[in-house]
Amino acid sequence: MCARSPATCAGLAGPCPFSSSFLRLNFFPYNKFGPRPPTSPHQGATRRVPRRRHAGQAVHRWAAKRFSQQGNYMIDLLNEERFESIAHNDKGFISAFDDAMTKLGYTFGNNIGSGYCWGRYMLIYRKSGAKSKNVFARIYIRDENIVLRLFLNAIDKHRGYIENSPPHIKEVFVGDHGKCKHCHNDKAGTCKFRKTYTIDGHLIEKCNGITFEFPNPSIQRLPDYMSLLTEFYPKRKK
């Protein structure tokens, strides 16, 4: 990890991105955002424990089995020795997220690059085939976990959606993580790295270098992450 500040690193794009991962693999029932955890015995669940727990256990068993096999690009990539410290559940999320992003027209460029200040490795998602280099999402691969980060702007335009979101989504907008500390980047009373918006009547200021991060993202919450992304970047009708 380097010593540069989040604001300094905010301008780095990095040489990262990914490809299609679990297309055409039907291990779980799917909704429009990706795989849904199993909810019945024939889907791999068990009724011996509460629904939330058996869904998580089934996801873990599925991920462990899939990543002991070969023959899929994403699986082969994450099975490389440099990624052996990544938990099976985290590998499963990376693959499922990549699948969902591919279906929406995003790509990570078939490469996992340096994480710079944010982690050991990093995936960067951009619009597939677009000339613009705008970043829409990243996955930071750290020694202890992975972090999903979404790049969102014009927060006030989506205030109603955020205020009615599940707690694990709303928290990244209203919590203390990434709170602006009014550091030395202020010029003429403004900072180009500051995001300012209002939620539930409260003015919130965040540092753009570390905003909208979801630590330990899970497959169970994948539909919520994708719903948030499509709220800000709706798919255009052809």
Residue bearing tokens 């058996």: 54
Q: What pLDDT does 65 receive?
A: 53
What does the block give as tokens for 81? 């020795």
- Determine contact, residues 49/37, Cβ cutoff 8 Å: no
Same structural domain for residues 136 and 19? yes
In a domain, 230, yes or no: no
Place 182 in a pLDDT band, splitting at 50, 70 and 90: confident
Q: Are residues 186 and 142 in the same domain?
A: no
The tokens for 178 are: 């990434």
How many domains is the chain built from?
2
> Other C-beta atoms within 10 Å of 169: how many?
19
The parent domain of residue 26 ranges over 6-152
Spatial separation of the C-alpha atoms in residues 39 and 64, rounded to whole Å:
19
Write the pLDDT tens digit of every residue in 120-142. 999 999 999 988 899 999 999 99
DSSP string for 116-159: TTS-SEEEEEEETT-S-----EEEEE-SS-EEEEE----GGGGH
Asked if residue 169 and residue 86 are part of one domain, the reply reads: no
Please report whether residue 215 resides in a domain: no
Q: Are residues 33 and 92 in the same domain?
A: yes
Q: Answer yes or no: is 34 within a domain.
A: yes
Q: Using CA atoms of 101, 220, 209, 12 in order, give the dihedral in degrees to the nearest 10.
A: -30
pLDDT over 80 at 72, yes or no: no
pLDDT band at 187 (very low <50, low <70, confident <90, very high): low
pLDDT above 90 covers a percentage of the chain that reads 53
